[in-house]
A and B are shown apart, each in its own frame.
Chain A
Amino acid sequence: QSVLTQPPSVSGAPGQRVTISCTGSSSNIGTGYDVHWYQQLPGTAPKLLIYGNINRPSGVPDRFSGSKSDTSASLAITGLQAEDEADYYCQSYDSSLSVVFGGGTKLTVL
């Protein structure tokens, strides 16, 4: 059972917009801790996608965006492409002094 809750799967057709939610609590996201997002393509290591709730590292397309409100955060992907098919993880920090991850969301491009 992950500290942060994500939907196990989402799907969308090419060109569509999808969102992935990440729900925490008052001991992590709700405390104001940053949320980061990672993309894990099949058989590869995770890659930083969004940091500090809303920021994109250089090289990440602006089709990817992040937001945060109260005890949850969201990752939005617009103009869905086949290459976006991957697992996505949110990550934050907990008052127990631990880094915490969401359980991951598998994105399927139909």
Chain B
Amino acid sequence: EVQLLESGGGLVQPGGSLRLSCAASGFTFSSYAMSWVRQAPGRGLEWVSAISGSGGSTYYADSVKGRFTISRDNSKNTLYLQMSSLRAEDTAVYYCAKHSSSWYTSKNRFDPWGQGTLVTVSS
């Protein structure tokens, strides 16, 4: 069974940093691109970042470009999101999600999703 388990969320002050992790199991991790998608409280879904299966290509939403860094360790079957210069508007549940191929393409779909980890940016 494919499983994704996020961790690392919590309360952080504005301007601070946080690193999220997503532990994957049940599939060949390196064969699939992965994404982070967030959902602010009571709001809709917002794609944040994606990384190819090899880790050689990364993509970011304009809202996080220059502040967030996505990476992966295929030897540990783990996806990461390093977040810095955090703002109140970054407060959200962050989900990791598996793509349907090793590349970030226009046919991207997300299946499955992890259960999410809550990041709260507040003083």
Size of A's binding interface in residues, CB under 8 A = 24
Chain A, 79-109, CB within 8 A of any chain B CB: 89, 91, 93, 97-104
Q: Quick one: closest A residue to B115, CB to CB?
A: A45
- Are B59 and A45 within 8 A (Cβ)? no
- Are B107 and A101 within 8 A (Cβ)? no
- Are B61 and A101 within 8 A (Cβ)? no
Chain B residues with Cβ below 8 Å from A97 are: 59
Q: Quick one: closest A residue to B44, CB to CB?
A: A104
- Give the docked Cα–Cα distance between A91 and B37 (Å): 12
- Are B44 and A2 within 8 A (Cβ)? yes
Size of B's binding interface in residues, CB under 8 A = 24
Looking at the assembled complex, report how far the CB atom of A88 sits from the nearest CB atom of chain B, in whole angstroms.
Answer: 11
With A97-B59, A98-B61 given, is the CB distance from A46 to B109 under 8 Å?
Answer: no
- Give the docked Cα–Cα distance between A99 and B46 (Å): 9
Chain B residues with Cβ below 8 Å from A101 are: 44-47
Q: Quick one: closest B residue to A4, CB to CB?
A: B44
Please encode chain B, from 68 to 109, with 1 for each CB lying within 8 Å of some chain A CB and 0 for all others.
Answer: 000000000000000000000000000100001000011111
Interface of A is mostly: strand
Partner of A48, one of B45, B106, B110, B116: B110
B66 at the interface (CB under 8 A from A): no
A33, A46, A91, A100 interface centre (most CB from chain B within 10 Å): A46
- Are B50 and A99 within 8 A (Cβ)? yes
- Are B112 and A47 within 8 A (Cβ)? yes
A64 at the interface (CB under 8 A from B): no
Chain A residues with Cβ below 8 Å from B59 are: 97-98
Chain A, 16-57, CB within 8 A of any chain B CB: 33-34, 36, 38, 44-48, 51-52, 57
With A45-B114, A93-B108 given, is the CB distance from A99 to B47 under 8 Å?
Answer: yes
Partner of A47, one of B35, B100, B108, B113: B113
- Are B45 and A104 within 8 A (Cβ)? yes
**What residues make up the interface of B, taking CB atoms closer than 8 Å to A?**
35, 37, 44-47, 50, 59, 61-62, 95, 100, 105-116
**What residues make up the interface of A, taking CB atoms closer than 8 Å to B?**
2, 33-34, 36, 38, 44-48, 51-52, 57, 89, 91, 93, 97-104
